[in-house]
Structure 1
Amino acid sequence: MPVLNKGKWQSLQDESSLEQVDVFNKDFIPETDRFHLYISKACPFAHRPYLVMRLLGLEEHVSISTLAAKRFDLGWQFDSEYPDTLNQASRLSELYVKSKSDFSGKVTVPVLWDKELQTIVNDDSAYLAKCFATDWLSLATTPMDLYPVELKKEIDELCKWLHHNINTGVYRVGFAHIQESYDIQVESLFKSLAILDKRLAKQTYLIGEQLTLADVYLWPTLIRFEAVYQCLFKANKYQLGSYKNLYRYMLHLLDNPQFASTLDVGYIKQHYFFSFKAQNTTGIVPVGPVLPWL
């Protein structure tokens, strides 16, 4: 993935080649209309804090804007359909450099921007999702406890497992460069899906009958599976629908208006099939598949 190196965009360099890697990981105190969340509706990791915000009804406290679907050599961009009305930036990298002129590292979504200090405060999707679910709960229009005290340990362990085996696991399949690596990663991914399918055989959510942050981690990957990962990433050993319990779970969450409101399959497909050139050199966005739940 291209990076900034001391404030300069390097489209042919990756993070492993940098002398130093900067991070934005500041804590912040909830405050109405002070923060702005930049996301891409395509990114499953940015989907996490966005989904928590929608579930809790935090939009009146934190403004949100979306990057353009197509990502070019200069990284995440804004366009006429998806403009940056807050900072008038043309590219997300400009906000990184505005925050730290010699920034070195990846330019990613989500990004939480501090309007008062004019800087990025955090770009860690896991931290932001948990922070919105806990620290911002008192401001929620539709409060729900996604991270209850008595389940914290179980949620943390499951989220860690999901991140490694599912959320990034599907990317290891898609980014495999040799057959042996691909075969290993496919086997690992589908074994993990089978574990989840068995887990959901007798319960509604990943942790019993209560919606938690663990579900916020899993659903963004599941809902992209048929439209993108199965084809583009060759994650196609089995159809997702063959995991009956897992598929029922995915559709049950889709029936929740707040989950459904965060989903834009057309945007997701446009991003992945155009932007991931190593996996799709032509950039052609396929017409299908026809998904019965759309």
Structure 2
Amino acid sequence: MSVVVPSSLLPASASPAFRGRIGRSADSGHYAVPHRYRLHVAPADPDCLSIAVTHGLLGLDATLPLRLLPEVPDAPDGSYTALRPLYEASAHLYAGPAAAPVLGDAWTGRIVSTHVPDILRDLALRFRGDGPDLLPEEHHEEIDALAALCADGVHRAAQRAGELGLDTEEGARREAEEALGTLFAALADLDARLTGRAYLLGPDPTLADVHVWGALVQLDTVHRWHLDAAALDRVAGFRALWAYAQRLAARPAFARHLDVEAVLRRHRAHCRGREAAGAGIRVVDWSGTV
């Protein structure tokens, strides 16, 4: 059964956290069956892109259909009209946003999960089939740590640096410098891990590579618009890291759902920040469209 946080306990902009899981057998209620589930994603969103890449690496087109949504939701509250019936069927009197991603159950017409980490784990563990082992047991903790590094050390640090970087107040400038320091330290850590290696944790890709690649896409396609030229020059200096990002971008599972223009349209639809000199600097030619 899915667990949902009552909408009265959530911020106005948040969607409820449906936390159903895919079990090992029929006794668990939700279990891996071909064609039972649907993944609803808007790949211009970084969380949805990570799910789409994982889906591609596992080769799940024939067993777990991917339903693609536009980059910008079609309702003012960030909802997708196509997802509204799923949300309303899954939570009594639901009135919040109907956001992506969603792992839906076609048998019941209800949501299994909207929680990205759980969806990624269940794809890797329950729908793997003959696909690669994206979540090796011996690397669980390291993959979680790298996911946290991407979220805090790359995404949030770059976002914070961009928000404060053009502020002339001394305290804000100091905070921006601290955020940049966090970002550079995270990138240096990743760069060192990748020197002389094709992937982060061995000879094959894992969820760690999905997390890191997605963070690099966001950094080079979204966050760079709010960082100054000096910061972007330092970011571009991590050569092993960006060569790795370029290699993965050439792989079909990573490239298939990456639309840089769509990422930018989604960003510009809600971003109110000022652009900085770094907007003109691009580290990776992700798709040749920017």
> 2:71: which partner in 1?
69
User: Is residue 27 from structure 1 mapped to residue 21 from structure 2 by the alignment?
Assistant: yes
Classify the secondary structure of the residue corresponding to 1:238: helix
> 2:151: which partner in 1?
163
Correspondence for 1:131 among 122, 125, 147: 122
Aligned mates of 1:121, 1:220 — CA distance in 2: 24
CA deviation after TM superposition for structure 1 residue 261, in Å:
0.7
User: Is residue 45 from structure 1 mapped to residue 47 from structure 2 by the alignment?
Assistant: yes
User: Is residue 119 from structure 1 mapped to residue 110 from structure 2 by the alignment?
Assistant: yes
> 1:86: which partner in 2?
none
CA deviation after TM superposition for structure 1 residue 180, in Å:
4.0
Letter aligned with residue 128 of structure 2? L
Provide, for residues 142-186 of structure 1, a one-character-per-residue CA deviation record: whole Å limited to 9, x for no partner: x11111223223323333333332244434444558444333222
Aligned mates of 2:45, 2:202 — CA distance in 1: 27
> 2:237: which partner in 1?
242
Aligned mates of 1:75, 1:215 — CA distance in 2: 32
Classify the secondary structure of the residue corresponding to 2:65: strand
Tell me, yes or no, if the aligned pair for 2:13 and 2:77 is still in contact at 8 Å: no
Classify the secondary structure of the residue corresponding to 1:120: strand
Letter aligned with residue 200 of structure 1? L
Q: For residues 87-236 of structure 1, what are the structure 2 equivalents within 5 Å?
A: 90=81, 92-93=83-84, 95-103=86-94, 107-138=98-129, 140=130, 143-175=131-163, 178-232=172-226
CA deviation after TM superposition for structure 1 residue 103, in Å:
4.0
Provide, for residues 82-112 of structure 1, a one-character-per-residue CA deviation record: whole Å limited to 9, x for no partner: xxxxxxxx26455423321344766542111
Tell me, yes or no, if the aligned pair for 1:274 and 1:280 is still in contact at 8 Å: no
CA deviation after TM superposition for structure 1 residue 125, in Å:
1.1
Aligned mates of 2:92, 2:245 — CA distance in 1: 42
TM-score by length of 1: 0.77
Provide, for residues 110-145 of structure 1, a one-character-per-residue CA deviation record: whole Å limited to 9, x for no partner: 11111111111101111111111111112x5xx111
Classify the secondary structure of the residue corresponding to 1:26: coil
CA pair 237-107 structure 1, distance change in 2 beyond 3 A: farther
Decide which structure has greater helix share.
2
CA deviation after TM superposition for structure 1 residue 210, in Å:
2.7
CA deviation after TM superposition for structure 1 residue 5, in Å:
4.5
CA deviation after TM superposition for structure 1 residue 209, in Å:
2.6
Tell me, yes or no, if the aligned pair for 1:72 and 1:275 is still in contact at 8 Å: no
- Long gaps (5+) in structure 2: 1-5, 23-30
Aligned mates of 2:244, 2:265 — CA distance in 1: 26
Tell me, yes or no, if the aligned pair for 2:89 and 2:110 is still in contact at 8 Å: yes
Letter aligned with residue 261 of structure 1? R
Aligned mates of 1:287, 1:161 — CA distance in 2: 26
Tell me, yes or no, if the aligned pair for 1:96 and 1:103 is still in contact at 8 Å: yes
Tell me, yes or no, if the aligned pair for 2:42 and 2:68 is still in contact at 8 Å: yes
> 2:26: which partner in 1?
none
Letter aligned with residue 217 of structure 2? I
Tell me, yes or no, if the aligned pair for 1:39 and 1:66 is still in contact at 8 Å: yes
User: Is residue 253 from structure 1 mapped to residue 248 from structure 2 by the alignment?
Assistant: yes
Tell me, yes or no, if the aligned pair for 2:79 and 2:99 is still in contact at 8 Å: no
CA pair 171-123 structure 1, distance change in 2 beyond 3 A: farther
Tell me, yes or no, if the aligned pair for 1:36 and 1:113 is still in contact at 8 Å: yes
The RMSD of aligned alpha carbons is: 3.2
CA deviation after TM superposition for structure 1 residue 57, in Å:
0.8
CA pair 77-5 structure 1, distance change in 2 beyond 3 A: closer
CA pair 95-64 structure 1, distance change in 2 beyond 3 A: same
